[in-house]
Structure 1
Amino acid sequence: MFDRRLFTNFDWTLLAVVLLVTSVGVVNIYSASSSYREIGTPYFLKQIYWIVAGMLLCVTVCSLDYHMLEDFAYWLYGAVLILLILVLVIGKVSMGAKRWIYLGFFTIQPSEPMKIVIIITLSRFFSRYPVFKGLTLRDLLYPLLLLGLPALLIMKQPDLGTAILVTLIGGTIILFVGVRWSALATMFAAAIPSVYVAWRYVLHDYQKDRIYNFLNPDLDPQGSGYHIIQSKIAVGSGATFGKGFMHGTQSQLRFLPEQHTDFAFSVFAEEWGFVGCLVMLVLYLFLILWGLGIAKKCNDRFGSLLAVGVCAMLFWHIVINMGMVIGLFPVVGVPLPFFSYGGTSMVTSMIGVGILLNVSMRRFMF
C-alpha cells in the first residue's frame, strides 16, 4: 500500500526552486538563440522537452526507495564503466573528441551518468565502511581506485571538464566522510609532481592553450582567448540592471560563442545585470543549502551521503561555470545546472533532484 507519509513529506519547496530556475533558463535560451537561423525545432522548445523528460525521471527516481540504489550500486558502476570503455573503442567522434556512443535507438554520453553513479557507489561504500578518526591512506586506496578509473577514461576521450567534475564530486564525498590530516598532506605532496606529469604527457595542446589564455586572454584574442574576452565584455556591459530582455548586444549580434550552452549565464548577466545575477546566485545558494539540510536531517548514513553527493555535483557545476564566464577559471565545457541548454545535463541534474526528494520524503522512515 502507498504510505501517505511520503506525499505528506514531499519537498515542494525544493521542486518549486528547481522549476523556477529551469523556467528562467528557458526564457534565457529563447533570448540567446533568437538571433539563430534555426532549422527544425527551436532550442528553447527542445529544452522544454528535456525538462519534461527530466521531470519524469525525477518522479520515477523519487517514487522508488533509494535503498534500491545501494543494492545495485556496483552493478551500475560496472555498467557505466563498460560504456566508458566502449566510447573509446567505438564511440562517435565529434569536434575531435569521442564522448558519445550509439545504442541502437539513441546515443548516450556515459560520462554524464557517471556523475550520479559515482555518488551512489561511494555512498554505498562509505555507508558500510566504519570511520572513527578519519580515513588513512590505506583506507583511501579502494575509494580512490573507484574514483580514478572513470576519471582517467573520461580524460582519455578527451573531456577534461567532466573528468575534473567527477573527481571533485567524489573528493567532496570523501572529505565529508573525514580524512586524516597526515593523509591529506601526503596526497598534496604527491599531487605536485603529478601536475607536472599531467602537463607534460596528459594534457592536449588545446587544453594547455585554454590555461595560457585564462592567465592572459590577450595572447590570442581572435582564437583561444576569444571566449573569455567576449564573455567578460557581456557580463561587464550588463552593469547594475542590465540592458533588458533580448537587448544584449554581445548575444544578439552573435559576438558571444556558445551563448545558449556553456555561456548562457553571460547572456543573462548582460540582459539583467548585477541585480539579476544576484537573484540567480541566491536561488542557487538556497538550493545547495536546502539539499545540505536534507542530508543533515536524514537519519540514514547512505541517504545522507547521497544528498551530500548531489549537492556537491550541483555546487561544482555552478562554481566552475560561473567562474568560467567571468574569467576566474579556464574555459571548460561545464554547463550551468537547470539553466544551460543541453539534454544530458538536464536529465542528470533532474535525476539528482529526484534523489534529494527521495531522501527527503523517507527521512522519517529510518
Structure 2
Amino acid sequence: MTASALTRPGERERVSTKLSEIDWRLVALLCVIAGTGTAMLYSIAGGHWQPWAANHLIRFGGLLTVMLALSLVHLKWWFRAAYPIYGVLLLLVLMIEFTPLGYTAGGARNWLNLGFTRIQPAEFMKIGLVLALARWYHKHSAQEARWSWKLLFPAGMIGVPFLLVAKQPDLGSAMIIGLTGAVVMFLAGLSWRIIAACAAAVVAVVPPFVMFVMHDYQRNRVLTFLDPASDPSGTGYNIIQSKIALGAGGLLGKGYGLGSQSQLEFLPERHTDFIFSTVSEEFGFLGSFTMLGCYIAVILIALRIASLSHSHFGRIAAAGMTAYFALFVMINGAMVMGLAPVVGVPMPLLSYGGSSMMTVMFGFALVMATRVHRYAELPKGEGLF
C-alpha cells in the first residue's frame, strides 16, 4: 500500500483499507501473551476457569475488539482529545484526594468509588500523560524540546499527577508515571545535561526520601529488597518465595499445573504481581525466556511503528506508549527476581487485573492508530501552551 493510496479521500475512509493496514503480527503477539496468562490463571486455580481465567479471557476479547475499533480512529482525533483526556483524568485523581468518593484498598486510597463500579484513575493517567506530552511536543521545536523555560509545562504535566498518586500512597503507579514522562521527554530530545542533573538529584534525594518520607511498610519493602533474609517470614517472604519458584523450574520446568509454589499457595499474589514466577516454575528457563521474547518482539514492532509516523505527535505518542509497556515488563521482571523492591506492578496482559489490561490495550490502540494513519500530517498551530 503506497502513501498516495492511503491519502486519497475515498480510500482513507474505507474500513477494509484501514483494517489491512493494522499490524497483525503485533495483534497476534498480544493474543499469545494474554492467552498464556489465561492458561496460567487456569493452572493456578487448580484447573478451574473461576475465579480468574474466564474473566481474564473474556476481558481480553472485549478489549481486543475495542483496540481494533479505536485503531481506525484518525490520528487527528487522538490529537484533539489529548488535553481534554489528560484534564479529565487529572480531575478524577483529585477527586480521590478531596471528595468522599475516594476508596481505600490495600492500604492506599487510590480507587474512585462511583457506586456502580470502582476505577483506578492512576492507571489511565499514564495514557493521558503520554497523549498530553505528545501534543505539547508536536507544536514545539527541537531546540525547545532540548532546553527551554517552556519545558516547565511538560515537567508540570508529569509532576502534578506524580505527586498526587505518590500521596495516596501508590508508589508503583507514581513511579510508572514519573518514568514514562521522563522517557517521553528523553525521546523528544531533552538535553543530556538536564538528564544528568536530574539523575544526580534523584540519587541524592532517594536516601532521605526512604528514611523520612516513606511510610513504614514502604520503607520495609526497600530494606527487605536489600536483605530479604533479614525477615524471611515477614516482609522478605514474597521475594524469597518468588526466587524459590524461579529456581525450582530449572531448564524445562516442572510441567503445566505442577508448580508446587503456586499450587500449594506458598507464592503470594501468584495471579497478579508474581505470575511470571509461576511461568518459570512450570515451564522453566526456556518458557520464561520465550515469554520475554514475546514482550521484546512487541516492543520492537511498536517502536518501528512509531518511527514510521509522518507526524511528530504520532511518533512521540506511539513511542511513549511503548515505553510505558516496556517499563511494566522491566519493573515486574526485576521485582520477581529480587532485583527491585516489590511495588505492585503487574506483568502486562499476563497478570490478572482489569485496570492494567484496559490501559495496555488502549495504549496499543493508539500505537495501531499511528500505524494505520502513519501518513497523516497534523497542523503545528493547534494546541495550548
Instruction: Give the partner amino acid of 2:79.
Output: E
Higher RCO (CA 8 Å, separation ≥ 6 residues) = 1
Shift of 1:137: 5.9
Partner of 2:263: 252
Contact map agreement 2:171 2:343 (CA 8 A) in 1: yes
Match of 1:264 among 262, 275, 292: 275
- In the superposition, the TM-score normalised over structure 1's length comes to 0.95
Match of 2:178 among 143, 167, 185: 167
Partner of 1:72: 81
Q: How does 1:177-188 map to 2 (within 5 A)?
A: 177-188=188-199
Match of 1:199 among 210, 213, 217: 210
Partner of 1:115: 126
Partner of 2:253: 242
Shift of 1:143: 0.8
For the aligned residue pairs, the C-alpha RMSD in angstroms reads: 1.7
Distance in 2 (CA, whole Å) between partners of 1:200 and 1:228 is 21
- Aligned residues with identical type, % of pairs: 37
Cα 1:240–1:306, aligned 2, differ >3 Å: closer, same or farther? same
Contact map agreement 1:31 1:245 (CA 8 A) in 2: yes
Contact map agreement 1:35 1:252 (CA 8 A) in 2: no
Distance in 2 (CA, whole Å) between partners of 1:103 and 1:66 is 31
Q: Secondary structure at the match of 2:104?
A: strand
Distance in 2 (CA, whole Å) between partners of 1:126 and 1:202 is 33
Residue 290 (structure 1) aligned with residue 301 (structure 2): yes
Q: How does 1:262-341 map to 2 (within 5 A)?
A: 262-341=273-352
Match of 1:53 among 62, 80, 93: 62
Match of 1:143 among 151, 154, 168: 154
Partner of 2:165: 154
Contact map agreement 1:57 1:347 (CA 8 A) in 2: no
Partner of 2:372: 361
* Superposed structure 1 runs of 4+ greater than 6 Å apart: none
- In the superposition, the TM-score normalised over structure 2's length comes to 0.90
Q: Secondary structure at the match of 1:333?
A: coil
Partner of 2:44: 32
Distance in 1 (CA, whole Å) between partners of 2:204 and 2:293 is 39
Q: Secondary structure at the match of 1:132?
A: helix
Q: Secondary structure at the match of 2:375?
A: helix
Shift of 1:63: 2.1
Cα 1:104–1:45, aligned 2, differ >3 Å: closer, same or farther? same
Q: Size of the alignment, in residue pairs?
A: 363
Distance in 2 (CA, whole Å) between partners of 1:201 and 1:81 is 27
Partner of 1:82: 91
Report Cα offsets for 1:175-227 as digits up to 9, x if no partner.
01112232223323433443244224431111111111111101110011000
Partner of 2:19: 7
Instruction: Give the partner amino acid of 2:287.
Output: G
Residue 219 (structure 1) aligned with residue 230 (structure 2): yes
Unaligned runs of 5+ in 2: 1-9, 378-385
Q: Secondary structure at the match of 2:111?
A: strand
Report Cα offsets for 1:9-47 as digits up to 9, x if no partner.
1211111111111101100111122289x9xx4211111
Shift of 1:241: 0.2
Shift of 1:99: 1.2
Instruction: Give the partner amino acid of 1:132.
Output: Q
